[in-house]
Structure 1
Amino acid sequence: MPVGLTSLTRLGTLNLSMNHLTGNIPAEIGSLERIETLDLSSNKLSGPIPQTMVSLTFMNHLNLSYNNLSGKIPTSNQFKTFIDPSIYEGNAGLCGHPLPTDCQGNKETPPVPSADEEDDDSKFDRLWFILSVVIGFCFGFWGVFGTLAVKKSWRYAYFCFVDKVKYAVLDFFSAIATYLQKRS
């Protein structure tokens, strides 16, 4: 991989996939501070993933699949968010999270959050959501039906309106039935 590319510090996207690149990923790749998308897939790159790549904090898309990379996948900064194993697919020598292959001598496995565990913020958000639904239902329901129960004139007007709609619907279907009987 050309080391000269690492001097393009304002680069946002770099796609070098399927270029038959060989050698290691240069350690200087960490100087691409503004890179958001990096695709080095389907090449013949070898060696470890440089530790300097953890400093690429703007990166939100990474694809290193189908190379000859080896070693432990970095686990800090942005690499914590790259949990899709397909990013590293086709690199038999890679190990560590999110791949099912643990690195030898690494007894520590990343914790997998269980479905029962929720952080306090999500519990608080859920509580507020439920509370707002209940309050909204109460105000909406009792705002309409409470008023109908208390105000006789509104109740009378409402039920007159419902009767008019009922008779209009019945008249409509009666007219259609009459029309269909005359046609047959």
Structure 2
Amino acid sequence: MLQELDSLDLSRNQINGRIPNSLSQIDRISYLDLSENDLSGKIPIGTQLQSFGPSSYGGNPLLCGLPLLRTCTEEEKGPGQTVLVNQDDKDGLISQGFYISLGLGFAVGFWGVFGNSSIQQVMQIYILQFLDCFTDWLYVKAEIIRQRMPNTR
């Protein structure tokens, strides 16, 4: 429901406290006026809130952060605003996936280099023959696909 909000004028309403983080998630808002209230703390970072001029936040002496010239101290940032980690990734899958792939890549690379020398000679031959056949098969498949694609020259 808030996502469909087009304009918001809450000026001169004697509102106090922090600007809620949910307000920073509205991406279609074209007009915002929060001036002449008693708002405090850091303006939440979002797609739209920093695009409005300082006059939209005027008359709130305890408000800080962009687009205002007043920078925030650590106390003013408040809980949950001191560290921004993966703001686009709400469920943590990208950072978790990164570490999983990093671990798997290390394990495969390590065993590909050092594990190869510890395998018996016969097993090495079978593995290398399999990899040779697999790369040949992969090359043939890639060439077939390339031949089927229309020539774009």
Scaled by the length of structure 1, the TM-score of the pair is 0.39
Higher relative contact order (CA 8 A, sep 6+): 2
TM-score (norm 2): 0.46
